[in-house]
Structure formats: C-alpha cells, structure tokens
Structure 1
Amino acid sequence: MLKLFRKVKKQLIAEKKFSNYLIYAIGEIFLVVIGILIALAIDNANDNRIKREKEQVYLKGLKEEFDISKIKLEELIKVNRKSYEAAQEIVLLMDKKSFPSEEKFSQLFATAFNYDIFFNPNNSLLNEMINSGSLKDISNDTLRIRLTNWISTIDDIANQEKMLGEERNNTVNIFRSEGYSIRTLLDNTGMSKEVGIPNNQNPVSNLGALESLAFENNILLFIITSQSTETEHYAPLMMSLNSILETINNELEQ
C-alpha cells in the first residue's frame, strides 16, 4: 500500500498536478493517522487485558479471604449468642430463687464467660492492596468503596468487642472480689484436669453468687452488651460481607 502511494506521488509530482497531489497528501496523512490509531487501539487492548488479568487475580484472592472471614463471623455469632443465652439462663435462675446444682451453675458460668469474642477477618491481601495502592486496580467503583469501608468497619467492631470484653471481666471479677471459688468452677467443668490441678477435696460453693446484686448487675450489663454486639454490629457486618462477596462473584463471572 505504501509503495503504491509513493509511486502515485512521484507520478503526480512529475506531471505537476498540484491539486491531485494535495488530495494524495491528505490521503497519506489520513492513512498514517489510521495506522497510529490502530496501533494505539492494539496497545490499549493489551494494557486492558493485562489490567483485567491482574484484577481477576486480586478478585479471586479477595473472594477466598472473604469466604473464610464469613465462616469465622458465622461461628463467632453462634459463640456470642451461646454465651449470652447461658447468662440469661443464670438470671432466670436468680429470679426463680431456685438454685441449680453446683455443677449446673459452673457449666452455665463457663459457657457464658469462657470465650473471648473477637472477630479476626482474613484481610492480608486487602491490606496489602491498600498499602501498595493496588486497590485502584479494582475497576468496580462500588466494590472499591465497600472494600475501603470494610477496614473502618472492622475497627468499629474491635471497639465494641473491647467493651464486651470489659463487661465479661467485670462479671468474672466478682468471683475474685467476693470470695467465690474459681477452683470450684474449674473442678465442675473438668478444666482442673486439663491444667494438671487435682480437684479440691473441700470445694467452696458458688451458689451464693445467685443472690448477689453486684453479680446480677454485671451479668445484665454483659447480656445487653453481647446482644448489642450481635444486632448492631455483627448483623450489619454480615450484610456488608455478603454484599462484597456478591459483587466480587459478579465481577469474576464477567
């Protein structure tokens, strides 16, 4: 094609047909521009393909992280609910003035207060993307915003969990300050054997705690904080997590 244009060019110059030469020159410029545009289009297509492949790698990694985080959160919600339901059962026993066996009370107490409630999501890849500026490689604006908000939401959750931990400690500390026996709790839940301590031959009863106003006040605050953690923090967090996963899955299917 270029050889043909050059041949025509020479012929027009030799024949001194200026108007025809001008048309030829414009055509030649047009051809060069088209060539440049085609080259740019091919280059852009390659860049977009590379970016899309990189984005897909990120999306697959994020999906794996959030799938694991969802499993963790589901389990944590179950544990938290089990804890405050056991605490509720203790309060009901206090209301009925019908004391359970020492073993039953110990089991309820252990179920309510043995577990630290702390959500530890898998955010390694997400943190790396944010720190390296790679979050910009996520083309979906909505997903990018949700991923950014996820980190700040996790910080809020941690603050709530800290409050819950304080309420748990306040309740357990009643046993330290009012003369009740941690040893009895350990013996009746089988934890003494786990830590290599023999059962106490003269156990101290903890049932008196069921008549303690201080214990009741602390356990009620624990229940309120536990339920608030579930309804006002974990439930919205689960909704956010599901939205992120849904968007990621949609992007992976494209």
Structure 2
Amino acid sequence: METGKTGKYLKYAIGEIILVVIGILIALQINNWNENRKQSIREASVLEELKQGLESNRSILEKRKLQFKEFQTKSKKLIEHLEAKRSYHDSLDQYFYVPTGNYSFGISYATFENLKSQGLDIISNKDLRLNLVKLYEEDYWLLKDQETKVANAFTNTTLPFTRQHFKLLNGPTYKPNNYNNILENVEFLNILYESNYLAELYFRQCVKVSEATSNVIEKIKNELKE
C-alpha cells in the first residue's frame, strides 16, 4: 500500500514539475516574442528616420546638381568672353558671381549619427547596415572633405580677390571696379578655370552619390515591407 501511495505521489510531483517547466517555457517564449516585437518596432522607427533623412539628402543633391551645372555653364561662357577680349556689358555681372557661389553639398548626417549612438546592430539586415556605413562614411565623407578644402581655398584666394576687384550688387551679381584690369588679370582667369573644374566635378559627384542614396533608400523601403 505504501509503495502504491509513493508511486502516485511521485507521478503527481513529476506532473507538477512538468507543468511548472512548461509554464516557465511559455512565459519565456512570450517574453522573447514581446522583446522581438519591441525590437522590430524600434528598428522600423530607425529605418523610417533614416529613409526620411536620405530622401532629404537626395533632394539637396538634386538641387545642387542643377546649381553646379549652372555654375559650369556660366564660368565657361565668362572664360570664353574674357579670352576673346570682348567688351564689358552689365549682363556679365551675373557671371562674375560664379566663383563665390555656394560650392557646398549641404548633406545632413543627423539620422546616421543618431543610429550610431544607439548602435548599428539595431538594423538586423547586415547588407543594409554595410550599405549605410559605406554611404555615410565613404561617399558622404568624401563630399564633406572636398567642401572643407574648397572652403579654405575660397577664404584664402577667391574672397580676397573678389573684395578687391568687384562691387557686390543686389542679388548674386558682381560688378568689376575696372573691367580692363579684369580682362588682363591671369589670377582671375585661373580662379574661373578652377570654378569651372569644381562645378563639373561636383556635378558628376552629385549624380553618383544621388544614385547611391536612391539605392539605399530602396533597400530600406524593401526592409520596411517585410
């Protein structure tokens, strides 16, 4: 009789233990599911922010692309005019402005810096993570580095020359103090050639980096759909 009671007790105890273990496993599974869900929501929020930031950067690059194309066209026309020793006309004033134009790209890094502060591992897709790092830390960094170099050249060369030889009119126009001096000035011609080169180079880079930005945006969109 005692043996029978002991057997029943053991079966009951084992059953209780199994139920407790099952309960713990279910609780852990629910907890993991909740954590994964929270992680997915967090990742989706970060991806949406990145997408918006990249779309803004792409829009800026497209605007800059048109601007650099305009700089390229105007600087080329002005070079041809000066090298042909043609006479002055006030329509030229809008062309004299080109070397002092905005040669920056205006890229924003805010969303990527926010991502880095939280940890890149928030993004579960490794390929997307690598694409983002390449875009921001290689492609965008190159643009930023060139911005700095051009800004230094502008401060040390272009700006002092412009202040000495031109008068700023209303709007983006410069009137030469003495056109004949400008006509014979090799330094200004060199500045124009450099401006033309930069405008052409920056135009090509805008095209390239804008395409790279679009590719990453599409990858983010695909990730958000999943």
Indicate conservation of the 8 Å contact 1:81/1:227, yes or no: yes
Identify the residue that residue 44 of structure 1 maps to in structure 2. Answer: 32
Q: Deviation per CA, 1:135-169, whole angstroms, max 9, x where unpaired?
A: 21111112212222233232221222233445556
Distance 2:163 2:7 in 1: 109
SS in 2 for 1:120: coil
Equivalent positions of 1:7-46 (< 5 A) are 13-14=3-4, 34-46=22-34
Q: 1:248 to 1:102 in 2, by over 3 A?
A: same
Indicate conservation of the 8 Å contact 2:62/2:206, yes or no: no
Q: 1:247: Cα distance to partner?
A: 1.1
SS in 1 for 2:59: helix
Q: Deviation per CA, 1:158-204, whole angstroms, max 9, x where unpaired?
A: 22223344555645554556xxx412xx34xx349x9xxxxx9xx84
Q: Which amino acid aligns with 1:182?
A: F
Distance 2:207 2:2 in 1: 80
Q: 1:246: Cα distance to partner?
A: 0.6
Identify the residue that residue 119 of structure 2 maps to in structure 1. Answer: 134
Indicate conservation of the 8 Å contact 2:100/2:158, yes or no: no
Q: Which amino acid aligns with 2:122?
A: D
**Which of the pair has the greater relative contact order for Cα pairs under 8 Å at 6+ separation?**
2
Distance 2:56 2:191 in 1: 34
Q: Which moved more, 1:38-47 or 1:81-90?
A: 38-47
Q: 1:89: Cα distance to partner?
A: 0.8
Q: Deviation per CA, 1:65-122, whole angstroms, max 9, x where unpaired?
A: 1111111111111112211211011122234x26254312211112x22422212223
1:109 to 86, 96, 108: 96
Tell me, yes or no, if structure 1 residue 152 matches structure 2 residue 137: yes
Q: Deviation per CA, 1:42-66, whole angstroms, max 9, x where unpaired?
A: 2221111110011111111112111
Indicate conservation of the 8 Å contact 2:100/2:159, yes or no: no
Percent sequence identity is 23
SS in 2 for 1:158: helix
Q: 1:29 to 1:71 in 2, by over 3 A?
A: same
Tell me, yes or no, if structure 1 residue 237 matches structure 2 residue 209: yes
- How many aligned positions are there? 222
Gaps of 5+ in 2: none
SS in 2 for 1:70: helix
Q: Which amino acid aligns with 2:194?
A: L
Identify the residue that residue 107 of structure 2 maps to in structure 1. Answer: 121
Q: 1:167 to 1:92 in 2, by over 3 A?
A: farther
2:51 to 63, 69, 75: 63
RMSD: 3.3
SS in 2 for 1:139: coil
Q: 1:176 to 1:125 in 2, by over 3 A?
A: closer
Indicate conservation of the 8 Å contact 2:99/2:191, yes or no: no
Identify the residue that residue 4 of structure 1 maps to in structure 2. Answer: none
Gaps of 5+ in 1: 1-10, 195-199
